[in-house]
Amino acid sequence: VDQARPYVLLSAWSWPFVFANMALRGFLIGIGDWWSFGFVLLVEQGIGLFGILKYFSATPTLAVLGWVGFVPPAVAFVLMVLLLIFRPGIWDKYLSSNPVREESTATSDAEGSGDELSEGTVSLSARQASVARTSSQMAATWRETAKEGLLAMVSDLAVQLPMTVGVYLAGARLGMGAMYQISALQAAFPQYGLAWVRGLTYGFRIIGSQQIGARDAEGFSNFYEIVVKYCSLLALVSIVTTLPFPAQISFALAEQACEYASEKACLPIYATVFGGGDYTGATLQGSAFKFFVPSLCAMCFYQVFKAGVYACQDFAFMAKAGCLALVFVFLPSVFLADAFGSAGAILVPMYLPCLALAIAFAVRIKRNIGQMSRGTFPLWGQDGTDSDEGSSESSAEA
């Protein structure tokens, strides 16, 4: 537990930066600032790769792995904030507004036209009404943006919380060996699947949003079919390339655990990872590995379909689905896993919510595509205008 504590704490400390970066990247994509988006992404990935090659390879500990996961999103957050503050044009065009100054300007303009008092009064009233309407629209927009950000965060927490609870549960109830098994399998996720859908998730968000904005229901439907086929093929490849080789992959993933076999006092820890001696429990290459590919596929499908729901701006559904997955999927399964008492059993409640949400998001996207085809998609509104613009105007007029 002492060895895992730095990794868990650093992972938890990285969450605020990860969530903030999601919003900031979305803003950069929304304004079409691809150079800044690409630069920040390149720096973040470069720092992570450098940390793995330079530091983690030399000192493969959970503490170093925690720092490798913490530093890149923190640096990316600082870079994006600096870009928003100092990049010419961004702040003035998108983030700065001073209705009070506009109102005072309108007042001085009207007062300066003494010979045309009546016309100045009419102009002043019109401009004051325009400023008040703009201010109300801005307030409504910021409220809606904050609300949607919180709803999206609820969905992400519904996935991150089971993973964190699972790691703690493995360490507290089953010991160091079970925690090591779970950590080793999680560390292999990018290599065997997650890294292969990272670009697809960005593409689904960006291209899908553009297609929805252009009211291209057929294009969005075709892109969704490509996404489903790609993920299905990736799952098939993962099954073929991993399931026949449990021992080889397990020993490669947990190579550092072999150090426990070099000292007699540490042999019990080695046995809880790979087996041997009097140990008869679950091993990394045994029951735990059987849940590796299903957990990996669930995570990949969740990431990709979540991007599609993001493109549809269906944030309320994301939050509701996340809460339902926590209550009706995670909680019952975690109690059952605790009763079975193995690392493989704990992997089930850790990633079963991902599978449930992936299915829910896929069904929701399909439903949204049907509404787009019929012209009844709520985001498009019923009168030819986007529903979010209509709601903002209604709030402003109210």
* Rounded Cα gap, residues 27 and 94, in angstroms: 10
Q: Which of 299, 271, 300, 298 is nearest to 286 (CA)?
A: 271
DSSP-derived secondary structure letter, 116: G
User: What per-residue confidence (pLDDT) applies to 128?
Assistant: 57
Strand-pairing partners, residue 262, are none
Coil vs helix vs strand at 279:
strand
Q: What is the pLDDT of residues 99-154, one digit of tens each?
A: 444 444 444 444 444 555 455 555 556 665 655 555 555 555 667 767 777 888 88
User: Between vectors from CA 210 to CA 362 and to CA 215, what angle results, nearest 5°?
Assistant: 80
- Is the separation of the CB atoms in 19 and 153 below 8 Å? yes
* Rounded Cα gap, residues 238 and 195, in angstroms: 12
User: What per-residue confidence (pLDDT) applies to 121?
Assistant: 57
- Is the separation of the CB atoms in 269 and 279 below 8 Å? no
Contacts of residue 179, Cβ cutoff 8 Å, sequence gap at least 6: 1, 4, 167, 170, 171, 343
Q: How far apart are the first and last CA of the chain?
A: 56
Count of beta carbons in the 10 Å neighbourhood of residue 362: 20
Q: Which amino acid is at 132?
A: A
* Rounded Cα gap, residues 343 and 182, in angstroms: 6
Return the structure tokens found at 11: 């992972």
Predicted model pTM: 0.69
Half-sphere exposure of 373 (CA within 13 A, CB side): 11
Strand-pairing partners, residue 279, are 276
User: What per-residue confidence (pLDDT) applies to 103?
Assistant: 47
* Rounded Cα gap, residues 340 and 170, in angstroms: 12
Coil vs helix vs strand at 251:
helix
User: What per-residue confidence (pLDDT) applies to 371?
Assistant: 92
Torsions phi, psi for 335 (to 5 deg): -65, -40
- Provide the Cα torsion 182, 45, 69, 190; round to 10°: -10
* Rounded Cα gap, residues 293 and 290, in angstroms: 7
Q: What is the pLDDT of residues 157-190, one digit of tens each?
A: 889 899 988 888 888 877 777 777 887 788 788 8
Torsions phi, psi for 325 (to 5 deg): -65, -40
Q: Which of 182, 140, 149, 187 is nearest to 165 (CA)?
A: 182
Q: How far is CA 344 from CA 30, 137, 284, 332, in A?
A: 41, 52, 8, 16
Q: Which amino acid is at 382?
A: Q
pLDDT along the chain (398 residues), means of 10: 77 86 80 83 89 81 85 93 80 56 47 50 58 56 72 85 88 77 81 85 88 92 94 90 80 65 62 63 72 90 93 90 93 87 85 94 94 87 49 37
